[in-house]
Structure 1
Amino acid sequence: MTKAFNQIMQEIEAAETIIIHRHVRPDPDAYGSQLGLKNYLKLKFPDKSIYAVGESEPSLDFIGTFDDVADEQYKNALVIVCDTANAPRISDERFNKGRKLIKIDHHPAVDQYGDINYVNDQASSTSEIIFDFIEHFNDLSIIDGSVARVLYLGIVGDTGRFLFNNTTSHTMNVASQLLTFPFSHNEELNKMGEKDPKLLPFQGYVLQHFDLNEKGFCKVIITKDILEKFDIAANEASLFVNTIADIQGLKIWVFAVDEGTEIRCRIRSKGIIINDVASDFGGGGHPNASGVSVSDWNHFNELADALNNKL
């Protein structure tokens, strides 16, 4: 860790412009690690030009906003990609137009696309890694609530509010230190949990239309006509992936949403490794939380069979 962190900081110190990316379909950790790193570096290096780019997710825009960066700004820029396991999932394809590319991530290292790659798959989140990076350089004294707030939300998001088994004593120690900074964690967590009232009938549909078998495998299938019936976008439907998580006997579940050009499948489990199955179908992620896109419902059935066979 020490060597890699020092190498990354050397590149940051040498750069005039730093552009920070993360993955498509961003989650709280993508937002938190990217914006946490940006806000920290702006405090440490106020004379540098530092940007965070990528498409926004409306349900997470309360966390922060992103920058418009012209193509020419990538010339001689240092590009850092947070929380992204493989290059095809990086938001904004210009990530490879800079002078040098750095990857900082906590997913299993399936694609080391950076000139410098720092991957710690034992960390709860990339936001936790960014905190460790800041602490390594004794810079906790220079950060403020703008950094602590987004890193905390990133950690909360990827640990399922500290319920998932990726929560360690180190994770809790990091969270406790972040809570010493001036932001209202209760207010922020309430924002994270809020849903538009118009979406709640869809939640009711999910609770009435899950398919759970006797082994503990469950499917939730959301077709285009269901999205139209409830006037809900595909990204809004994905917010309900854990709606069924409290079902007794549930072990593995897949939440499949027809997005038009592909069927996006979000896979979750309770203590059973499922990212190997996701990888077999061209996806990936964490041992207990992964994702994959399939082309049609026949391929989805093959994926579902493979997940069921895990049991």
Structure 2
Amino acid sequence: MAKEFELIMDRIKEAQTIIIHRHVRPDPDAYGSQLGLKRYLTLKFPEKKVYAVGETEDSLEFMGSPDDISDDVYQGALVIVCDTANAPRISDGRFNLGKHLLKIDHHPPTDQYGEVNYVDVTASSTSEIIFDMIDYFNDVTMIDQEVARLLYLGIVGDTGRFLFNNTTPHTMEIGARLLNYEFDHMNALNQLAEKDPKLLPFQGYVLQNFTLNDKGFAKVQITSDVLKKYQLVPNEASLFVNTIADIQGLKIWVFAVDEGSEIRCRIRSKGIIINDVANDFGGGGHPNASGVSVRDWQRFNELAEALDSKL
């Protein structure tokens, strides 16, 4: 992938303005890769204007905040999209307004929308890829504790604190190197895991309202009236997708939240490929962690049956 790194850096050197996007419903890796790349480029090219844009996520506000820029900033700009498999999932639809468009990602490449597409499906996270790029250009000594904090949190988020099977020896090596920087990694991890006390009754609801069959398939259905009862917005409910992950015998589970216009389904598994089912229903993602949106609960039941059939 060295060729793609060189092409990406050539575009970065040419540009005076760089705008970095990531996916909707951002997670720690989306924030970490985007903001970590922004900070790195700011340090490497202080003369350039570098922005990060997209919707905000309150639970990740401690990692940083996106920039608010006008459309005219895109004139002649280089746009880089991090951690986003397909164009419809890019947060902020202005990504096509720039002069050049690049993609850096670790999801299976369902949509190569960039002029240059760096996709490494063996990487644990896009934050891992950003560190590899920094390392490739011998810039590790240039980065600071903020870059290290952001990339570390991105890697931790997508590996489930190094517990998921996408954690490789290379991932652990990068994690160790990032810990050499003087940021309070315990505080950062605590911030990543903390939940607002008002959310905990909902966690109890999830633990009492899942269904699990004898094959190891489970589902959680969060309807609009449940959200109203616990005074939650859909993004807050989605934080609990792994609440039932430790149940003995569990192999595949789907966590569905009614978001009004659609039902967002987060699909997880323990070693069983499920992104093929997600793709069949118009979604996608990793082999063991995917997502899809369906129009109603009847369609959700069809999705659940397809997932159950994998067992």
The answer for the alignment partner of 1:200 in structure 2 is 200
The answer for the alignment partner of 1:9 in structure 2 is 9
Compute the displacement of 1:248 (Å).
Answer: 0.1
The answer for the alignment partner of 2:232 in structure 1 is 232
Q: Within the alignment, does 1:70 sit opposite 2:67 as a pair?
A: no
Q: Does the residue aligned with 1:205 lie in a helix, a strand or coil?
A: helix
The answer for the alignment partner of 1:213 in structure 2 is 213
Q: Within the alignment, does 1:122 sit opposite 2:87 as a pair?
A: no
Amino acid at match of 2:107: H
Compute the displacement of 1:233 (Å).
Answer: 1.0
Aligned length: 311
Q: Within the alignment, does 1:279 sit opposite 2:286 as a pair?
A: no
Q: Within the alignment, does 1:140 sit opposite 2:140 as a pair?
A: yes
Which stretches in structure 2 are left out of the alignment for 5+ residues? none
CA distance in 1 between partners of 2:233 and 2:200 (Å):
13
Per-residue CA distance 1:43-83 (angstroms, 9 max, x = gap): 00000000000001000111111101110010100000000
CA distance in 2 between partners of 1:287 and 1:64 (Å):
29
CA distance in 1 between partners of 2:66 and 2:210 (Å):
36
Which stretches in structure 1 are left out of the alignment for 5+ residues? none
- 1:97-176 equivalences under 5 Å are 97-176=97-176
CA distance in 1 between partners of 2:203 and 2:3 (Å):
47
Compute the displacement of 1:84 (Å).
Answer: 0.2
Compute the displacement of 1:95 (Å).
Answer: 0.2
CA distance in 2 between partners of 1:91 and 1:138 (Å):
31
The answer for the alignment partner of 2:19 in structure 1 is 19
Displacement over 3 Å in runs of 4+: none
CA distance in 2 between partners of 1:180 and 1:161 (Å):
18
CA distance in 1 between partners of 2:229 and 2:110 (Å):
39
Per-residue CA distance 1:227-272 (angstroms, 9 max, x = gap): 1111111110000000000000000000000011000000000000
CA distance in 2 between partners of 1:2 and 1:201 (Å):
49
Alignment TM-score, normalising by the size of structure 1: 1.00
Amino acid at match of 2:110: V
Compute the displacement of 1:182 (Å).
Answer: 1.2
Q: Does the residue aligned with 1:266 lie in a helix, a strand or coil?
A: strand
Compute the displacement of 1:32 (Å).
Answer: 0.3
CA distance in 2 between partners of 1:3 and 1:233 (Å):
43
The answer for the alignment partner of 2:186 in structure 1 is 186
CA distance in 2 between partners of 1:158 and 1:266 (Å):
14
The answer for the alignment partner of 1:85 in structure 2 is 85
Identity across aligned pairs (percent)? 73
Alignment TM-score, normalising by the size of structure 2: 1.00
CA distance in 2 between partners of 1:17 and 1:124 (Å):
29
Amino acid at match of 1:310: K
CA distance in 1 between partners of 2:270 and 2:144 (Å):
36
